[in-house]
Amino acid sequence: MVSLFELGETALAQNFRLVHLEKVSSTNDEALKHGLAGEAGRLWVVADEQVGGRGRLGRVWSSPTGNLYASVLLIDPALPLHLPELGFVAGVAAAEAVGALVGDNPRLGIKWPNDLLFDGAKLAGILLETTVRPDGKRICVIGIGVNCDSNPLDTPYPATALAKIPSIGGEGSEPRAVTMFRHLSSCFAAWLEVWAEGKNFAQIRAKWLKYAAHLGQSITIARQNERIEGIFKTIDSQGRLILAGPQGEKVIEAGDVFLNAPP
Ligand code: BT5
């Protein structure tokens, strides 16, 4: 099969490589396999369809053909302390890649930690996974799913797809997932360079805050057994969410954000 997927120019210039597969369980698992098999890193794995696509906490990521499923493998990209920042590098890169198609559009935002929203509906999700391989090197896989042609209709948080955005609309001369991947791979390579192994996370954070959805608004953080309400103040120097409540500020490391209805 001839693959239409290709890396963007910046990704090629920075020695990223690409493996394209038709149907996989999860591109994150494929990338992880490459890492365990001794890959040097900077490898993208893209698939047309996933049958075991997953989100955070083992949730299902709906993955029919027509959307983008891409995972990038990095080996020892930074000191372990900085690895969680890669989700934000990917979030900013994904937002910029979508921005290449929709322009500088205030309807595009990032919901903490790293969901892309368009008009408040989820357009893309990011899953960062890390593990240590027997030689002691750290394997980092960042999976990105972008709804290009379709989105699931039965999600608790509303979802959307590029095909529903009027300025993108109908498919042009190539599949939307192919165009999206070219932009995404280049934007990721560029922001990875800016990040500089975490030395410049401040720049990633500043860009992230420009895209941030719900900033200054009343939100609820849902975690396994609790729900915490407050005002979304900012993210700190490690990307943690700062929530201001009646008892002062709380630092949130993980959870799902929901926007509260106005009083
Ligand atoms: C995420 O998890 O948003 C991370 C999704 C990462 C998917 C990519 S695709 C390439 C790579 N390979 C994988 O196996 N995964 C990565 P989370 O924040 O936990 O959101 C998951 C929730 O989003 C689900 O429980 C659904 O409610 C909803 N959902 C499922 N599929 C969706 C879709 N295609 N679009 C929008 N929402 C979806």
Instruction: Please report the pLDDT score of residue 180 as a whole number.
Output: 97
Q: What percent of the chain lies above the pLDDT cut of 70?
A: 98
Distance of CA 220 from the midpoint of ligand 1 (Å): 20
Q: Which residues of 33-68 are buried (b: 16+ CB within 10 A; e: fewer)?
A: ebbeeebebbbbbbbbebeebbeeeeeebbbeebbb
**Res 124 pLDDT > 90:** yes
Rounded CA separation 34/51 (Å): 19
Beta strands 68-75 and 108-111 are unpaired
Residues in contact with ligand 1 by the CB-under-6-Å rule are 26-28, 50, 53-57, 59-62, 69-71, 115, 122, 125-127, 143-145, 147, 151-152, 155-156, 159
Instruction: Please report the pLDDT score of residue 167 as a whole number.
Output: 76
* C-beta neighbour count of 7 within 10 angstroms: 21
Q: Tell me which of 29, 61, 69, 223 to substitute to probe ligand 1's pocket, judged by most ligand atoms within 8 Å of the beta carbon.
A: 61
Amino acid letter at 166?
P
Residue pair 254/261 in contact (Cβ under 8 Å)? The answer is: no
Mean pLDDT over each residue of the chain, to the nearest integer: 95
Mean pLDDT value across residues 21-27: 98
Digit-coded pLDDT (tens) for 174-201: 999 999 999 999 999 999 999 999 999 9
Q: What tokens does 6 get?
A: 């290709």
Which ranges in 54-138 belong to alpha helices (H)? 86-102
Mean pLDDT value across residues 208-233: 95
Distance of CA 31 from the midpoint of ligand 1 (Å): 17
- Please, which residues bridge with residue 115 across strands? 111
* C-beta neighbour count of 15 within 10 angstroms: 11
Distance of CA 185 from the midpoint of ligand 1 (Å): 19
Distance of CA 168 from the midpoint of ligand 1 (Å): 22
Instruction: Please report the pLDDT score of residue 170 as a whole number.
Output: 59
Mean pLDDT value across residues 53-60: 95
Burial class from Cβ neighbours inside 10 Å (0-12, 13-18, 19+) for residue 126 reads buried
**Res 1 pLDDT > 70:** no
Distance of CA 44 from the midpoint of ligand 1 (Å): 18
Instruction: Please report the pLDDT score of residue 173 as a whole number.
Output: 81
Residue nearest ligand 1's atom 20 by CA: 55
Of ligand 1's listed atoms, the one at least distance from the Cα of 56 is 19
- How distant, in Å, are the alpha carbons of 37, 70, 88, 102, 151 from that of 168? 39, 21, 25, 7, 15
- Work out the pLDDT band at 262, boundaries 50, 70, 90: confident
If we measure between CA atoms, which residue out of 74, 61, 207, 213 comes closest to residue 144? Answer: 61
Residue nearest ligand 1's atom 19 by CA: 56
**Res 217 pLDDT > 70:** yes
**Res 112 pLDDT > 90:** yes
- Work out the pLDDT band at 169, boundaries 50, 70, 90: low
Beta strands 138-146 and 121-132 are antiparallel
Rounded CA separation 210/196 (Å): 20
Residue nearest ligand 1's atom 27 by CA: 155
pTM of this prediction?
Answer: 0.97
Widest CA span in the chain: 59
- What is the dihedral sign for C-alpha 258, 61, 20, 31? positive
Of ligand 1's listed atoms, the one at least distance from the Cα of 59 is 25
Mean pLDDT value across residues 138-165: 96
Instruction: Please report the pLDDT score of residue 166 as a whole number.
Output: 82
**Res 215 pLDDT > 90:** yes
